[in-house]
A and B are shown apart, each in its own frame.
Chain A
């Protein structure tokens, strides 16, 4: 797909704020990215950088009344989701854009059977199906996500399933209505490594089958490398770099991205050698100084970085750093 044709989803200058006890916190600032059909976009960054808030903003699921979108557009299929009526938005959620979450243990309602919770999505978005068809669709989808004996699982309660199985149920639930986009917010973080690999493989297979786009949120570059076509790197509520996956791994431009990539242990690093870490802490959203948000941890910071916010520049490979050209 060429970059010039209209993307499936385009986020433009999205800004989100939260009311907190200490004042208004700007959790997202000037977030812009595109998602092409069939593509997997990774969003990566440290805890608290705004990955989840980005996905919740797109879905208009921010906790009310504390959180609100204060600017920008989310163009999906030619319409701005932020301008849609609540009812129209109900028709999008779970139907055209579906979501899975980090905690499979708590994301399913403990008091309803798996079958009931799966069917609910169909009842909402495919009312034309009769009971038999709904059941068949659920069984078929559970089979697809690799759950053995699906008929029996339909009658079970979430607590009777393992974490990996529950995440598979969540994926089945998200994919029942054949969405155009699946937003996966750290879907494997709570699972152990072998299950994690299985789930990633499953998502890849399902994507090949139905051609959906995936927004994959994680703080793990290893996972990004396995599944993503393109990556957005976030820091302190801003995008600081985005590029094709190989381009980013081979030529990271932002000092933060370079730091992150150096912090990953590799097979060819000396065993037991000290991993490089990024010194310092992320300031709280309320204490970010003017200028570049990474300045206090950046070894290349210069006076200009403390005064002006660097713009996100570049074609294809974009970076938000005044000195990026020096690293190209």
Chain B
């Protein structure tokens, strides 16, 4: 078992290299990179500052020297694999480089956003489990009842409507019209002035209600049906009949026997959630103006801020890979038949 997980951990290395190398190469060849952007910006600036001024050679505002400097700065002067290698060595020293957009260390930018994303991610996951498991349980027990049908309707709506649409609706109704909740942001402007920890927590939660609703609406449908179906299968299982024949009341046979078996598929799913969750949905972050990792990654791609793009990738790839291992550990905990060798 230990050996299995050691091997899985070691396997992270090649997988990680594969993912990052791919993205690194793509950043090299996608048009509209940082240098081209800078040239465009410089042109824009010179045009605005007075049309009469002469443009540089070939209509460029940046001369050869400056260009070479820039290429060197971005590492574009070397073959792609060489600069990848240099980048990787820096990553190993926990140096993710400097953002071209903010001129700040990438680490600082990411660390600033990470708690926000982690907060939403973990809250979403907890609430989703908290709703889906009991709801799936009751739907299975009351299969085909009015409760089952009514809740299925809600679950299907949550599944069919994209969560950013739900986010917009929530925002329009509860923030703009009813003004029950703030329009967005992670916390209020005067957050730093709030004196007690509890007031700060309250402020964050107050801002979190609508985005969390949007997140949860998008994720609890699958989980609820997974739970319901798993439990239904197990209710019909022979060992539940054995338990009842042994003298257990029906309810206890479910809670003691069927329930644990039904959690196996949920546990398998657990690790996959992690990266999705930390990454967040940039659409929801955008709608609610939350400075999370999803939005950061998205904006960096648009702005060709490659150090940040790669930095976000590093974080999410590692989380995803660790999440998979965590899934396996969860499954091994709930299902003794699973043997890792």
Q: Fill in one digit per residue for A122-160: 1 if any B CB lies within 8 Å of its CB, else 0.
A: 001100000000000000000000000000000001010
Q: Which of A82-104 contact B (CB under 8 A)?
A: 86-87, 90-95, 98-99, 101, 103
Further pairs besides A98-B245, A106-B239: 12, Cβ < 8 Å: A61-B244, A93-B246, A93-B247, A94-B245, A95-B247, A109-B239, A109-B242, A110-B239, A110-B261, A110-B335, A110-B337, A111-B264
The 8 A CB mask of A104-118 against B (1 = contact, 0 = none) is 001111111100000
User: Do residues A125 and B247 form an inter-chain contact, with CB atoms below 8 A?
Assistant: yes
Give A229 Cβ to nearest chain B Cβ, in Å. 24
Do B245 and A99 touch (CB < 8 A)?
yes
B6-44 with Cβ < 8 A to chain A = none
In the complex the two chains form, is B243's CB within 8 Å of A59's CB?
no
Residues of A within 8 A of B (CB): 59, 61, 86-87, 90-95, 98-99, 101, 103, 106-113, 120-121, 124-125, 157, 159, 170, 173
Pick from B247, B256, B337: contact of A90, CB under 8 Å: B247
Q: Does the CB pair B239–A108 fall under 8 Å?
A: yes
A111 engages B261 (CB within 8 Å): yes
CB neighbours of A93 from chain B (8 A): 244-247
Contacting pair A107 B247 (CB below 8 A):
no
Chain B CB within 10 A, most for which of A103, A107, A109, A120: A109
Whether B260 is near chain A, meaning CB under 8 Å from some CB there, is yes
With A106-B239, A157-B337 in contact, do A61 and B245 touch (Cβ < 8 Å)?
Answer: yes
> In the complex, what residues of B have CB within 8 A of residue A125's CB?
247
The reply on B249 being an interface residue by CB < 8 A is yes
B268 to chain A, nearest CB (A): 14
In angstroms, Cα B257 to Cα A90, docked, is 17
Complex CA–CA separation, A90 to B237 (angstroms): 19
B334 within 8 A of A: yes
Chain A residue, CB-CB nearest to B242 = A107
| List of 9 A-B pairs having minimum Cβ-Cβ separation, nearest first | A94-B247, A94-B246, A106-B238, A109-B239, A99-B245, A93-B247, A157-B336, A124-B247, A107-B238
Residue of A nearest to B248 (CB): A124
Q: Which residues of A contact B248 (CB under 8 A)?
A: 90, 94, 120, 124
Q: B280 → chain A, closest Cβ, in Å?
A: 34
What are 15 A-B contacts defined by CB distance under 8 Å? A86-B249, A87-B249, A90-B249, A94-B246, A94-B247, A98-B246, A101-B238, A103-B238, A107-B242, A108-B239, A108-B242, A109-B239, A109-B243, A112-B257, A120-B246
